[in-house]
């Protein structure tokens, strides 16, 4: 696999972490407020609706592995590593596994790849770089180009409207009529 792609992905994640960790208190860790801002600004409310207090509390608790009330860089990277280490034997399968892990049903329907037809743009999210990095890291799919990744992610997002709400349980307040 290309070391450059992995380095680029890591550099992006490090930059994002420090951009928010430096806002208040300890500059090397994320407070709950900083995490909320990072999620909603950089990841487009991915990992659950970060405006929802219960959802945010759960994400924060999951990330704060040593339960000291802050999320340090190691804890933050563990999440990214878990997502990009999720496996899958084909590009479509690997994409599906990562996307299903990251986005609930209602959220995935709000996006398409280029943000056309009044939807939000997935390509612009830092999360897309995480998905692409995961595909390059996976030995079964490491040969793919950026174009292949775009195709697989687009396809998954288009299919979102036909899938049932298999992630409904994660939502604190189900959204109707989407
Ligand atoms: Ca911690």
The CATH number for 77's domain is: 1.10.238.10
Domain that holds residue 135: 88-162
DSSP 153: H
Distance from the CA of 71 to the center of ligand 1, in angstroms? Answer: 4
CA–CA separation, 126 and 39 (whole Å):
10
Distance from the CA of 82 to the center of ligand 1, in angstroms? Answer: 17
Residue 77 within any structural domain of the chain: yes
CA–CA separation, 99 and 94 (whole Å):
9
pLDDT confidence tier of residue 147, bands split at 50, 70 and 90:
very high
112 pLDDT more than 80? yes
Is residue 55 domain-shared with residue 93, that is, in the same domain?
no
Residue 121 within any structural domain of the chain: yes
Distance from the CA of 69 to the center of ligand 1, in angstroms? Answer: 6
Distance from the CA of 126 to the center of ligand 1, in angstroms? Answer: 23
Distance from the CA of 17 to the center of ligand 1, in angstroms? Answer: 14
pLDDT confidence tier of residue 8, bands split at 50, 70 and 90:
low
CA–CA separation, 76 and 40 (whole Å):
16
> Of 53, 82, 111, which one is at a domain's C-terminal end?
82
Distance from the CA of 68 to the center of ligand 1, in angstroms? Answer: 5
Q: How large is the angle between the packed helices 3-21 and 126-137, nearest 10 degrees? A: 150
Q: 10 Å Cβ neighbour count for 61?
A: 11
> Of 50, 82, 114, which one is at a domain's C-terminal end?
82
Tell me if 20 sits within 8 A of 34, measured CB to CB.
yes
CA–CA separation, 121 and 36 (whole Å):
20
Give the global pTM.
0.64
Residue 178 within any structural domain of the chain: no
Distance from the CA of 160 to the center of ligand 1, in angstroms? Answer: 34
Q: 10 Å Cβ neighbour count for 112?
A: 20
Backbone angles phi, psi at 36, to 5 degrees: -60, -45
Q: Please count the structural domains in the chain.
A: 2
The mean predicted confidence, pLDDT, of the chain is: 79
């Amino acid at each position: 696999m290309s070391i450059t792609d992995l380095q680029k992905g890591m550099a992006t994640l490090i930059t994002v972490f420090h951009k928010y960790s430096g806002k208040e208190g300890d500059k090397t860790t994320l407070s709950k407020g900083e995490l909320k801002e990072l999620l909603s600004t950089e990841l487009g409310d991915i990992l659950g609706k970060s405006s929802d207090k219960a959802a945010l509390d759960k994400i924060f608790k999951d990330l704060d592995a040593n339960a000291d009330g802050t999320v340090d860089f190691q804890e933050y990277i563990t999440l990214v590593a878990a997502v990009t280490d999720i496996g899958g034997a084909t590009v479509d399968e690997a994409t599906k596994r990562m996307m299903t892990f990251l986005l609930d049903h209602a959220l995935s329907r709000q996006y398409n790849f280029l943000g056309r037809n009044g939807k939000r743009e997935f390509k612009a999210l830092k999360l897309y770089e995480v998905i692409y990095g995961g595909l390059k890291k996976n030995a079964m799919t490491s040969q793919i180009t950026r174009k292949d990744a775009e195709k697989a992610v687009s396809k998954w997002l288009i299919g979102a409207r036909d899938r049932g709400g298999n992630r409904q349980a994660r939502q604190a307040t189900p959204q109707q009529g989407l």
